[in-house]
Chain A
Amino acid sequence: MTTVAPPASAGPTPPTPPTGRRGRRPGRRRRPRSGAGRDVAGLGALRGAAFVLPALGTVGVFLLFPALWTIYIGITDYRLTGEQARHPEVVGAANYTRALDDPLFGNSLWITLLFVLGSAVIGQNVLGFALAWLLRRAAGWLRRTVEALVLLAWILPSTVVAYLWITVLDRGDGTLNALAGTGGTAWLLTYPVASLVVFNTWRGTAFSMLLYSSALAAVPPSQLETARMVGASGWQTVRDVVFPHIRGHVLTNTLLITLWTANDFTPFLLTAGGPDHRSEVLPVFVYRTALEGAGDLGYASAISLLLLLANLVVALLYVRLLRARGVDGGADGGVDGGADGGAGRSAGRGVDGGAGRSAGRGVAT
């Protein structure tokens, strides 16, 4: 049980500045075991506090303050321009009630759900596992080549990747239309959500692949051998031998990619939420509401908070599942390594910010 918590917490932690991470960890681990009275480092309470203070200050300034500020703006009619920019008024829960009967918010929620389910929960998970499984005994050069290509999709800057995909999917002389002979198909306009799902699966599979590669290494070869001896098919082996060993990794991986994907802003670079709001995932909806056209900062802040709550709910749900299954750990290295690599996903990270992290903490505790 206890071995599961560290990898899960290490996953979403990287965005926090290193000081914050080091500052929190020892306290969290030691206290329950030995009580507050024992002073291992011999610093004394005061000096100990002094060491922790910069970290707490950083967390307060960059995490808690923006979160509280968002809540505050969310109960006002604050706008980017106009009279309400100068004298915003507190409107109570009006922004939240407005969200409930705003068809655009419902639309955005639905698209986010499709996007997360399609590209993360199903797309990246399945493709990542499939690659890890198929490549585990492939020749070294083949494995390295495929891994390098998949990783490349992951580590390239979002703007570059988005530009490449726009040229691939372009209606006029897009690569896809040229290859598939589907001249004139405006993929990003006609199938916006499907395009985003394919794009994000391609973009983010590397993380799942790395994590599952490590997880598969933890499956005892003797059991795989036994399965082969008794004539189990490939699928039976995966289901009955491999899966029970990596169940915890599946849940952890799904949690992380769900949160990243739900907070991902990259779709904006491809479709800008269009055509006519048909690919407007929540982060894009928040951005467009806050900064484009209407400049409705109050309403957008309220939506951000709802997004954060949705993230928390998802995180808690996974924690429940994780506990209920009574999984065995033992793959710290895999999760840690993969998650640290995750710091390279700058796009997700930018918007992700508070939501992803607070969700992560929920898991850790």
Chain B
Amino acid sequence: MRRTLATTLLAPGLAVAVAGLAASGCLGQSEETSSGQNAGAKDVTLTVTANAVAGGKNAASAEWMDKYVIPGFVAQQRAKGVNATVKFEGNGGADEQYKTKIALDLKTGGGADIVNLDGIWVGEFADADYLRPLVEVAGPDVDKWDGWRQIPDAVQDLGRFSDQRYAVPNGTDGRVLYFNKTLFAQAGLPADWQPASWDEVLATAEKLRALPGVIPIQVNGGTPMGEATTMQGVLPMLVGTGAEIYSDGKWQGATPNLTTVLQTYQRIYGGGLGDPLLQQEAKGRDKSFQLFSENKIGILLESDYLWRGVLEPAKGVAKMADRNAAVGWAKIPAFTQGGGVRGQDFVSMSGGGVTAINPHTKYPQQAWELLQFMNSADAIKAQLAGQARITQRKDVNSEVLSGDPLLSFIAEEVLPLTAYRPGLAQYPQVSAALQQATADVVGGKAVADAARAYQEALVKIVGEDRVATG
């Protein structure tokens, strides 16, 4: 009975399966499209996707797409006799989930024609052939776009990989230590707080401990927060020890610098200054936003997104009505004066989103036109709609930033000090290993053990000869 069933089922099934294998070809291949195809089409359909959704995450961007970009671009095309349809595909998940989604979209040759992504993903997406250089996708005219001249070189790097442009940056950001002035006043701390070292930060947190129901300091750590842990925790501290995660062809292994960072995590979460459980919860970052807006967190290391996207009194996800009066900010100090990267006293990290064209788009020319439209000075000003943000364009920044105290602070004081992540395809894996190391420490593991485990993980990712241990 067993054999009959097996032969009945298996033989034809195998035939079908093998045919399927043959038809789908090998793993990882994708077909070509040409930059000139459909250039003269009269009916054009384009889809744009971003991790933004009306009424939710990054609602302002979603609204801008629906109310400005789509009608504006459709009108522009109609004037040329082209009947354009533009759709916006919103998303409202964690960044990692969004990344998985667009990676799967691009892998299967589907997905939106214009894709927003974090600049740090460009390398691995390019290596996977999910993205192609813009000149390949949309033709040599890309380099002639006058908008490039408005985008500072450091910001353009966000969309570049191996010296080629893969995407147009959406702007940049910076990280600071936010503090709640209401709580500071209750603890008898100054409203113009600017610590000169991490010891001073922790000493201040120590004083906030006296306030009931208040978490003195929260620094992103652990794996559920994903890249937020690396960008708002490990890396800003690491540059404060004088080291960058990648320099001279080597990645930081379990060096004294990294140990200092992990020790700081231990001082915060092992000593009851921060809430370790918050760092382990699946929605911990959203909760930290919520708690900060409710005057329950004293000090929080975050990017300018917290100010303009989260606490923003009208459209933020955790609105804080008295944001302008109650929220203070300070530059992130190095561990010792002059001990930061490049001998600095203060440090920060920056990144930013980019917009790329799906290499499989049916309308590469029109997609490039839409991308230019989205990155015109007028469009960016419309996107800001009274809210400031450090945009990609110098002409827009010079107009809008002066109106916002935090953003002009970041543009003037923080960006000159900042550092960027290496745009290498291996970076996300290294970042995941760093997150795990902090997770270990926040979860109660000894710093030395966490550092050793990180070292082992790193060697597996990049190879022994590319790990700095000194």
Contact = CB atoms under 8 A, between A and B. Distances in A.
Chain A interface residue bracket vs B: 35 or more
B96 interface: yes
A64 B13 contact: yes
B21 A69 contact: yes
B119 interface: no
Interface string A54-82: 00110111011100110011001011111
Given A31-B4, A275-B443, A85 B17 contact: no
A56 B16 contact: yes
Instruction: Specify the main secondary structure of chain A where it touches its partner.
Output: helix
Interface string B13-47: 11111101100000110000000000000000000
B432 A294 contact: yes
B127 A81 contact: yes
B315 interface: no
A72 B18 CA distance: 12
Nearest to B429: A294
Contacts of A86: 28, 127-129
Interface in B402-427: 425-426
A106 to B, nearest CB: 15
Contacts of A24: 5, 8-9
B130 interface: yes
A189 B16 contact: no
Interface stretch (B222-230, B257-265, B301-309, B375-383): B222-230
Interface stretch (B142-150, B163-171, B274-282): B274-282
B21 A59 contact: no
Interface string B189-215: 000000000000000000000000000
A79 to B, nearest CB: 8
Of A73, A186, A275, chain B has the most CB atoms within 10 Å of the CB of A275
Contacts of A295: 100, 103
A81 B103 contact: yes
A28 interface: yes
Nearest to A87: B28
A82 B128 contact: yes
A205 interface: no
A100 B244 CA distance: 34
A82 B27 CA distance: 13
Nearest to B15: A60
A81 B130 contact: yes
A271 B18 CA distance: 39
Interface string A306-327: 0000000000000000000000
A352 to B, nearest CB: 19
A81 B128 contact: yes
Contact of B107 (A68, A76, A80, A88): A80
Given A73-B27, A272-B224, A293-B226, A60 B13 contact: yes
B188 interface: no
B17 A274 contact: no
A45 interface: no
A312 to B, nearest CB: 14
B79 interface: no
A157 interface: no
A365 B8 CA distance: 13
B12 interface: yes
B440 interface: yes
A56 B440 contact: no
Contacts of A76: 27
Interface in B75-102: 96-97, 100
A147 B129 CA distance: 54
Contacts of A83: 127-128, 425
Contacts of B9: 24, 56, 59
When A and B form their complex, which 6 residue pairs have the shortest distance between CB atoms, in order from nearest?
Answer: A60-B16, A275-B280, A85-B128, A60-B13, A81-B124, A65-B17
18 contacts: A27-B5, A28-B4, A56-B12, A57-B16, A64-B13, A64-B14, A68-B18, A82-B124, A86-B127, A275-B224, A275-B277, A275-B443, A276-B222, A291-B100, A291-B104, A293-B226, A293-B435, A365-B1
Interface of A: 24, 27-28, 31-32, 53, 56-57, 59-61, 63-65, 68-69, 72-73, 76, 78-83, 85-88, 171, 186, 188-190, 271-272, 274-276, 291-295, 361, 365
Given A69-B20, A274-B280, 13 more contacts: A24-B5, A28-B5, A57-B12, A68-B17, A80-B128, A81-B103, A85-B127, A86-B28, A88-B27, A186-B277, A186-B281, A294-B428, A365-B1
